Structure 1
Amino acid sequence: MEKISAIVVRTMGEKLIFIAATIRKDFWSWFVISFSFTAIYYMVLMLGLIIRFDSLPNYVNAYGWIDNVRTIIQSTPSITDTLIIINDEWIFEVGFMNYDFGTGISEWSLFLAPTKILGVFLLGLLIATNYLLLRPKNRVCNDVRARTSVTASGFGALCVALASITMSWVVCCSTPTWVVGLAMMGLGVSTSLWLEPMGVWVNLLGFGVLLIAILSAAERNRSSFTD
């Protein structure tokens, strides 16, 4: 058993070394892909809202995120509660206000929260890593196995992308949550709200599949790597 454990540890270490070396060789490509993915992700969300509701945003709200976080830390005794509250703290909001009803009501909006942005950026880093590992000049697996890895990465990315949505819609009680995207795509509002608590698990599933795909790619490709 100890011998098997040693082999597993050594193999994992080789994979991590190969992944780190691959990233180091193309660090700027890795970073640019990750940053571009994050920017495009939020641009697509905004474009989706504009197309879905056929209206351009007409208001912007900025929030004092740093001051709000400081207040949360000072006034919340539980560390767990502090982290949960900070996770949903916004820094920026852009949306459409309908003034047909008195002072106006926000029909839809896109919220930007630093913790959510970091999560999307991490997703971009994982996608960029897998891309570098599967590039033709590094890849030694056959096309079928490569497509399988790409498919797994796509599934994981889709899970994380869906669970990272921070849009609100008046039909969904104007609460910024990931299931708003599902409701906008046609899923019943009741069903969407019922699925809301599963967001954490969808995120974990997506990141887990992406990590497995990356480790698998490193296993297949490491024999072709030369420092």
Structure 2
Amino acid sequence: MEKNHALAGDYMRRFRISLRLARRNKALCLGAGAGFTLLYYIVLLSAPMIKFQQWPNYITTYDWLENTRRIIASTPSWSDRLMIIKDEWLFEIGYMNYDFGIGISQWSLFVAPAKALEIMIFGTLLGMLVLIIRSIAEASCARRNLWAAKASGGVGAGLVALTSISLSWVVCCATPSWVVGLAMMGLGVSTSLWLEPIGWWLHMAGFGLLLSALYVFAGYLPDIDKTRT
């Protein structure tokens, strides 16, 4: 029992340290979240443009607020509401091929507000990890462990970024999915679609790696007021 109380107390101490550090660098953390999200979607849009050598030629917007209202009104379960709203699109941008009648969307990028918010939160957490690493960079006891923190955050960021891809490609049945990115990078379409069910687990693993790094390295900041930020 005492051990559990000690662990809980240590967890709360590390949480308070991280929170104070974030408050003292609020603009940087928020900027990291917004910048990470913007850069992420720029890279996503650039990927098919570079691969197919095609500029986007259409943009479609969706009434996200009205669609969300209808989902809430017509779906009794809050868990079901959230799952549906999570994939509700705000706009779509891509390339329409008009060689086949009225046109077929060859590739496109979909932006869902819920997913964009998730990416922004992840970017903010990543910014906090960078702050902690910078704050303990001169501590000899933590110097050798900095690479572990960077590797954990980097792998976590990679997993979340990969599994948050919302691209569609006509070769992959034109369904927006994270595995479309794998197919565009050269992995076989059938193999990519086979990997699709593990996306949720990889996504959670990415968040877990980053949160674990934050927890471990917050322990190297015994007094946030005496650390250099």
- TM-score, normalised on structure 2? 0.94
Structure 1 partner of 2:8: 9
Q: Secondary structure at the match of 1:205?
A: helix
Q: Is structure 2 residue 26 aligned with structure 1 residue 27? A: yes
User: Across the two proteins, how many residue pairs are aligned to each other?
Assistant: 226
For 2:35, the aligned partner's letter is: S
Q: 1:221, CA displacement in angstroms?
A: 2.8
Contact kept, 8 Å, 2:136 with 2:220, in 1: the verdict is no
| CA distance in structure 2 between the aligned counterparts of 1:139 and 1:208, rounded to whole angstroms | 26
For 1:7, the aligned partner's letter is: A
| CA distance in structure 2 between the aligned counterparts of 1:30 and 1:52, rounded to whole angstroms | 33
Q: 1:137, CA displacement in angstroms?
A: 6.0
Q: How do 1:120-139 residues align onto structure 2 when only pairs under 5 Å count?
A: 120-136=119-135
| CA distance in structure 2 between the aligned counterparts of 1:45 and 1:224, rounded to whole angstroms | 37
Contact kept, 8 Å, 1:138 with 1:225, in 2: the verdict is no
**Per-residue deviation, residues 55-95 of structure 1 (Å, max 9, x unmatched):** 00000000001111111122223333322211111001000
| CA distance in structure 2 between the aligned counterparts of 1:99 and 1:187, rounded to whole angstroms | 27
Structure 1 partner of 2:176: 176
Q: How do 1:201-212 residues align onto structure 2 when only pairs under 5 Å count?
A: 201-212=201-212
| CA distance in structure 1 between the aligned counterparts of 2:11 and 2:131, rounded to whole angstroms | 18
Contact kept, 8 Å, 2:22 with 2:29, in 1: the verdict is yes
| CA distance in structure 1 between the aligned counterparts of 2:163 and 2:75, rounded to whole angstroms | 26
Of stretches 195-204 and 159-168 in structure 1, the one that deviates more from structure 2 is 195-204
Contact kept, 8 Å, 1:138 with 1:221, in 2: the verdict is no
Pair 224,115 (structure 1): closer, same or farther in 2 beyond 3 Å: closer
For 1:106, the aligned partner's letter is: S
Q: Secondary structure at the match of 1:40?
A: helix
For 2:207, the aligned partner's letter is: F
Q: Is structure 2 residue 156 aligned with structure 1 residue 156? A: yes
Q: Is structure 2 residue 223 aligned with structure 1 residue 213? A: no
Contact kept, 8 Å, 1:18 with 1:225, in 2: the verdict is no
Structure 2 partner of 1:144: 144
Of stretches 129-138 and 36-45 in structure 1, the one that deviates more from structure 2 is 129-138
Q: 1:215, CA displacement in angstroms?
A: 0.6
Contact kept, 8 Å, 2:94 with 2:109, in 1: the verdict is yes
**Root-mean-square deviation over aligned CA pairs:** 1.5
Runs of at least 4 residues of structure 1 off by over 6 A?
none
Pair 168,186 (structure 1): closer, same or farther in 2 beyond 3 Å: same
| CA distance in structure 1 between the aligned counterparts of 2:162 and 2:122, rounded to whole angstroms | 12
| CA distance in structure 2 between the aligned counterparts of 1:88 and 1:78, rounded to whole angstroms | 16
| CA distance in structure 2 between the aligned counterparts of 1:77 and 1:100, rounded to whole angstroms | 44
Q: 1:164, CA displacement in angstroms?
A: 0.5
**Per-residue deviation, residues 114-154 of structure 1 (Å, max 9, x unmatched):** 11101111110110010111105665244331011100110
Q: 1:31, CA displacement in angstroms?
A: 0.9
Q: How do 1:68-107 residues align onto structure 2 when only pairs under 5 Å count?
A: 68-107=67-106
| CA distance in structure 1 between the aligned counterparts of 2:24 and 2:138, rounded to whole angstroms | 15
| CA distance in structure 1 between the aligned counterparts of 2:157 and 2:214, rounded to whole angstroms | 12
| CA distance in structure 2 between the aligned counterparts of 1:107 and 1:133, rounded to whole angstroms | 43
Contact kept, 8 Å, 1:149 with 1:213, in 2: the verdict is yes
Structure 2 partner of 1:118: 117
| CA distance in structure 1 between the aligned counterparts of 2:164 and 2:222, rounded to whole angstroms | 32
| CA distance in structure 2 between the aligned counterparts of 1:115 and 1:61, rounded to whole angstroms | 18
Structure 2 unaligned blocks of 5 or more: none
Identity %: 44
Contact kept, 8 Å, 2:156 with 2:209, in 1: the verdict is yes
Contact kept, 8 Å, 2:137 with 2:143, in 1: the verdict is no
